[in-house]
Amino acid sequence: MRHLAITLSCFFFSLFLIAAAPTVQAGPACGLVLATAGEVLIQRGNATIAAARKTSLHVDDEIRTGDNARAQLRLADGTITTLGANTAFRIRQYTWRQQDEPSRVQLELVTGAFRAVTGKVLDARGSQLDVQTPAGVIGIRGTDFWGGYLDGDAVDVLLIDGRHAVEVSNASGKVLLEKPGQGTTLKADQSPLAVKEWPKTKVERAVATITWPGGSTPPTE
């Protein structure tokens, strides 16, 4: 009987450990981490994962960078996103169809700054790629752009390169960034500010947020 009691105690204790352990529920991978510098974590359900090169990425993952940290991510279609320090960036939806069917990708900038160079996700007509922010939405049509917080709670957006416009919108209005060097600012409950070419100093401030520490180049494969 004593042996049975010990066995049952171990059994129920094991069940307790299983119930208390962090759960990691993730669907198929939609990308991976290309490179990290400094502390980079992935919040996946109840689990916090230390990100490293080739760590897989899944829908609902939130990637977080620490002080002076950087992270470079690649989605399955080839879209590459670089995150600056103290950034929280979430993959909210990723449906990429490699044939001629529309794809749908929705990302979210919670805090910090990022740069994205789109891949093949927008090749099919009707495809959509959006980046949600607390102040509004950045709609991308295939380009190289930057978005983030430079001053207070305003979200700045800069078109770096590309033949397609970036649409910046919220409930109060929208604007289009159509030429490299053009930028705008989003504030909650206000229309996006008029599009204008950013001065060199502001462009440099934006680029500095996602430049790899020491000016080195992160691996791309």
Q: What are phi and psi of 75, to 5 degrees?
A: -85, 165
Q: If DSSP codes are grouped into helix, strand and coil, which group holds residue 151?
A: coil
Q: Can you list the domains of the chain with their CATH numbers?
A: 29-212 (2.60.120.1440)
pLDDT tens-digit map of 112-132:
999 999 998 888 888 899 999
Q: Tell me what pLDDT residue 124 has.
A: 83
Contacts of 153 (CB under 8 A, 6+ apart): 134, 135, 187, 188
Q: Tell me what pLDDT residue 25 has.
A: 52
Q: State how far the Cα of 81 lies from the Cα of 76, in Å rounded to an integer.
A: 12
pLDDT tens-digit map of 165-205:
999 999 999 999 999 999 999 998 899 999 999 999 999 99
Q: Tell me what pLDDT residue 122 has.
A: 86
